[in-house]
Amino acid sequence: MLTDYHVHIEQGKYDLEWLRKFVNKAKEQGIDDLGISEHAYRFKETKDILFNPWVEKRQTESIEEYLHLLFSAREQGMPIKIGIEMDYIPGKEDVTKLFLDQYQWDYVIGSIHWIDQWGFDLSEMKEEWNKRDVTEVYITYFQNLKKMVDSKLFDIVGHFDVIKIFGHVPEMREELLVVIDDVIQSIKQNNMVVEVSTAGFRKPVKEIYPKPQWLEKFFANEIPICLCSDAHAPNDVGSGYSDALQIISEIGYKQLAVFEQRNFQLKDIKS
């Protein structure tokens, strides 16, 4: 069994022809369980959760059109799971829950891309890193990640250490190590799944999310994983999987979490 649950179709039209390209690529890559998980900020219905000048230009779609496409694809025999990638914004837990509860999902990926109004992983906001203390940014990020996990709104922790995207390396202060360990324990207590994302291979950091150091801690704590590519185009589906599979195998993982209707089962990784 191989999964790819972190897949975005935003670079094309929301139509079956475009979606089929992702489905075909997944089949070609030997992926058994493909899930589509568009960025929630794309949808006008999420304006009360996340809205700023950067998002405003991209908040052009309707959640109803997105879900209609995915359910129509299922009816036509495309084997896809219905997902979404939801930004966690501290203080917006109630409106986030209200939004998510309206729809039928197979899984919800919770991610953090913003610290206040700073999109820390955006190339157009990269210069802000030069004005900040890298270690303090890391601490804030993981503090927010713990809040995200504790909110119990999400099923999958998206790109656990995406904060490293541009290769900034923090001082491993005790405060940072403690908060990361707290996040890991919260993930375990809340029975969440962590995605192993190959997107990091395609980013400036050139490293898998999460880094093997954290993956070893997840394995030691019996935290389940799923495998994802964070694809934004068909050719990205399953990208970097051979390297990812070698890493997780060496750590000791033999199973992946497979989702349906916001519940998961563990299934053996395809050899």
Distance CA 159, CA 85 (A): 11
CATH code of 3-268, in short, is: 3.20.20.140
- Overall residue count recorded for the chain in this entry: 271
CB 227 within 8 Å of CB 177: no
pLDDT of residue 1: 92
pTM above 0.85, yes or no: yes
pLDDT of residue 271: 63
pLDDT of residue 270: 79
pLDDT at residue 187 tops 80: yes
* Cα dihedral across residues 246, 252, 256, 257: positive or negative: negative
Beta bridge partners of 3: 33
Q: Which residues lie below 8 Å from residue 178, measured CB to CB, with a gap of 6+? A: none
C-alpha to C-alpha distances, 114 to 25, 55, 87, nearest whole angstrom = 31, 11, 8
CB 146 within 8 Å of CB 184: no
Mean pLDDT, the chain, rounded, equals 97
Residue boundaries of the structural domains of the chain: 3-268
pLDDT at residue 201 tops 80: yes
Q: What is the mean pLDDT of residues 135-147?
A: 98
Q: What is the mean pLDDT of residues 169-195?
A: 97
